[in-house]
Structure 1
């Protein structure tokens, strides 16, 4: 999930919320906003391993998305605090070239003796810019947040793999697997394009054959906007 596009259209977000509530109902859990938001499951719920993995997936994914938004805020703050990290190198007979890293400087200047002074000046400016960035990033907690985000996304990837290899023993478990795929895939792709309509159709079959909710409302009606 790192560096992935988390922008989603409103219909996709609405479907995601409705689908989570449907899985909770299929598992026999009372639909409560707090349980939906945090993946909470009553302790006396029957334990389908796929449902338990899905529960962990939802909690970690939520954490990752919150950290992703926090990283965006921190990056904006860094941009306001730190000057441009690159430098401009004037190549004799070749004009000015923008350099943003020492690797880029190596490619442009290399070992040219006639550009030793230019190289030293460019390296000094790059080092100063990096030091300014590191100091500002440490001050606002950027590196700590970045590490936490990367760890959360790694956990999401691990749980997705675990879900793909863990047999479900209930309708809720199968629905949870589909939900995990939809949560990850719809965040990157057009949620109305292939294969999302086909996945939703399979999910609708699960809703159609599933039991009734405690209040008598059908699961298909309950999740019709997914």
Structure 2
């Protein structure tokens, strides 16, 4: 068999995909500008709707997580370019080269056969040396610190997102805030063209339109 380069699936080190430039929806901008409430500053300081208050806190956590994730990805790219993901390439008896990116994958590939013991031991040592270079470089450039901070910020945002299910909104702004948070989180993880994201986006657009109409109607009623 001719030599070939087969590579196992490269692991994703980053927490999630971050949309280029961050994800600030038109609804988020409207909530920040107070389109639904009439006074953004007062609403941010003392929102009457508990769901809206939760949205403001989630917005802070989400933005922090996004910033840290982008920084982490930049550092990760630097590590990949200078060190490369920890891996080891093993040549099997048929002459085929296979690259694995974890000890687990290595053990799964080589198995526990006695005749593979020497090859397995050498491959594990090679992988450990590569991992040590990655770890040392990651510590030196601050990758590990940023990675931990991003995880903490992401967990904070996730806890707040889950809290939306237990908080009742009392205004259109609060309902819009709930949908905005769910949609923005979903768009970072999922295929945005599939259920339920188009439906959630449509409902959110309806709320934005109602909010605008309500503002216009109230203005005309007061005139």
Which residue of 2 is the match for residue 61 of structure 1? 62
How far apart in 2 are the matches of 1:3 and 1:166?
Answer: 27
1:3 equivalent to 2:15? Answer yes
Between the aligned partners of 2:180 and 2:52, the Cα distance in structure 1 is 11
Distance 1:16 1:210, change over 3 A: closer
Q: Which runs of 5+ in 2 are unaligned?
A: 1-13
Please, what TM-score do these two structures have when normalized by structure 1?
Answer: 0.75
Q: What is the distance in 1 between the residues matched to 2:77 and 2:55? A: 33
8 A Cα contact 1:89 1:97, kept in partner: yes
Partner of 2:139: 138
Structure 1 regions of 5+ residues with no counterpart?
218-226
Q: Aligned pair in 2 of structure 1 residues 67, 198: CA closer, same or farther (>3 Å)?
A: same
CA shift in 2, pair 1:102/1:193, >3 Å: same
Q: 2:211 aligns with which of 206, 211, 215?
A: 206
Aligned to 1:77: 78
Q: Does 1:119 align with 2:124?
A: no
- From the superposition, tell whether residues 148 and 7 of structure 1 become closer, same or farther in structure 2 (CA, over 3 Å): same
Q: Does 1:41 align with 2:27?
A: no
In 1, are the aligned partners of 2:62 and 2:153 still within 8 Å (CA)?
yes
2:3 corresponds to: none
TM-superposed deviation, 1:197: 2.2
Structure-2 residue corresponding to 1:220: none
Runs of 4+ in 1 over 6 A off after TM superposition: none
1:85 deviation in Å?
Answer: 2.1
Match of 1:41, SS? helix
Map 1:1-226 onto structure 2 (within 5 A). Answer: 3-7=15-19, 13=24, 15-22=26-33, 24-30=34-40, 41-42=44-45, 45-93=46-94, 95-187=96-188, 188=190, 189-190=192-193, 193-210=198-215
SS in 2 for 1:89: strand
Larger relative CO (CA 8 A, sep 6+): 1 or 2? 1
Q: CA deviation at 1:93?
A: 3.4
For the 8 Å contact 1:186–1:196, the answer to whether it is kept is: no
Greater shift, 146-155 or 57-66, is seen at: 146-155
Helix, strand or coil for the counterpart of 2:15? coil
Query: Displacement of 1:136 after TM fit?
Result: 0.7
